[in-house]
Chain A
Amino acid sequence: EDKVVQSPLSLVVHEGDTVTLNCSYEVTNFRSLLWYKQEKKAPTFLFMLTSSGIEKKSGRLSSILDKKELSSILNITATQTGDSAIYLCAVSFSSNTGKLIFGQGTTLQVKP
């Protein structure tokens, strides 16, 4: 059975801290791994990773894929209260059905 597992499920930090969120997957026909941020309603896209070892960066957020370990990490440096959200990891398939399988999400709370 295809599955995506995120850890930790929840995390509380203070502003300025650095956090690392984890996503591991067991799927057949892996194509790409995606990270989304969900603040209150609609998840918004952060990164798509297809190649192992290549870091993607956007401001204080960065992510990297390790196909050998079947995992990805999302790093957030110098956290701010606006980073408080649910971070979702999803995996797509090379069979191109368009389906995504999501992990449970990591709920991040950044305290002032």
Chain B
Amino acid sequence: DGGITQSPKYLFRKEGQNVTLSCEQNLNHDAMYWYRQDPGQGLRLIYYSQIVNDFQKGDIAEGYSVSREKKESFPLTVTSAQKNPTAFYLCASSIWDSDNEQFFGPGTRLTVL
């Protein structure tokens, strides 16, 4: 089955801890994206990557970091510098040279205790 997987589904973090959210795709897509979703605010772009070993900041990158060592994988680290990390995190991927239809994973809900 082709698709995007995210893990874990739910994550609890204590203040001051870094946590890493996993995103894997087997769609052979070039581009991958991380979004944050808060109630009433739609999706906001954190980071995106067009190719392996390259990524760009989105609109709300502060307090987050990413890596893209493999085409299939785009993990997101939420650092202790992120002031309000409790949110729903969605990963997406797309064919780069397309009309930008993005396919989404099932999301990770992060709660800071």
Which A residues are within 8 Å of any B CB, using their own CB?
A: 4, 6, 9, 31-32, 34, 36, 41-45, 48, 50, 88, 90, 92, 96-105
Contact = CB atoms under 8 A, between A and B. Distances in A.
A39 B97 CA distance: 28
Contact of B48 (A42, A92, A99): A99
Contact of A9 (B40, B44, B104): B40
Contact of A50 (B33, B45, B99, B102): B99
A43 B41 CA distance: 15
Given A41-B106, A42-B90, A98 B101 contact: no
B40 A34 contact: no
Interface in B55-113: 56, 58, 90, 94, 96-97, 99-107
Which of B41, B45, B94, B100 gathers most chain A CB within 10 Å?
Answer: B100
Contact of A98 (B33, B90, B106, B107): B33
Interface residues of B, number: 27
Contacts, number: 63
Which of B33, B99, B103 gathers most chain A CB within 10 Å?
Answer: B99
B90 A43 contact: yes
A102 B42 contact: yes
Contact of A88 (B43, B45, B96): B43
Interface string B26-65: 0000010101000011111100101000001010000000
A74 to B, nearest CB: 15
Nearest to A4: B42
Contact of B42 (A32, A92, A99, A103): A103
A99 B101 contact: no
A98 B96 contact: yes
A6 B99 CA distance: 22
Contacts of B35: 102
